[in-house]
Amino acid sequence: MSRRWQAFWLVMGTLACLAALPVGAVFAIMSPLVFDGPGNLLNPIAWFAFLLVIGLWIVCILAPYGAWVAFIRRRGALTWAAMAAPFAWVAVLATTLLFVPG
């Protein structure tokens, strides 16, 4: 893939992360609701989900920045690994939230 197409896809990934920022901020504000179910305060999966929700918007900020830095330094694999981090984070978050009771 040419460098121009790589830059295009990086811009698209950056825009997707920017679009996810408000969603991540709302999730972070509502993250204490994960403990509303009975016994969830002592549930380690609920705590893990809480940390994942809090960290989503941070990952959506840092991943595109790291991807662009790696792109400028011509580190192809690191560029796409950094850009895939928010999408992997959301997948782990969605899976974890399925196992939180209540």
Q: Which residues contact 67 (CB under 8 A, 6 or more apart)?
A: 10, 13, 14, 79, 80, 82, 83
What is the pTM (predicted TM-score) of this model?
0.81
Return d(Cα 28, Cα 22) in angstroms, integer: 10
What is residue 39's predicted lDDT score, i.e. its pLDDT?
86
Query: Could you state, in chain order, the average pLDDT of each consecutive group of 10 residues for the chain (102 residues)?
Result: 92 93 90 88 91 91 95 93 93 90 74
What is residue 54's predicted lDDT score, i.e. its pLDDT?
92
Q: Where are the domains of the chain?
A: 14-30+49-102
User: Which tokens in the block code for residue 97?
Assistant: 């939230």
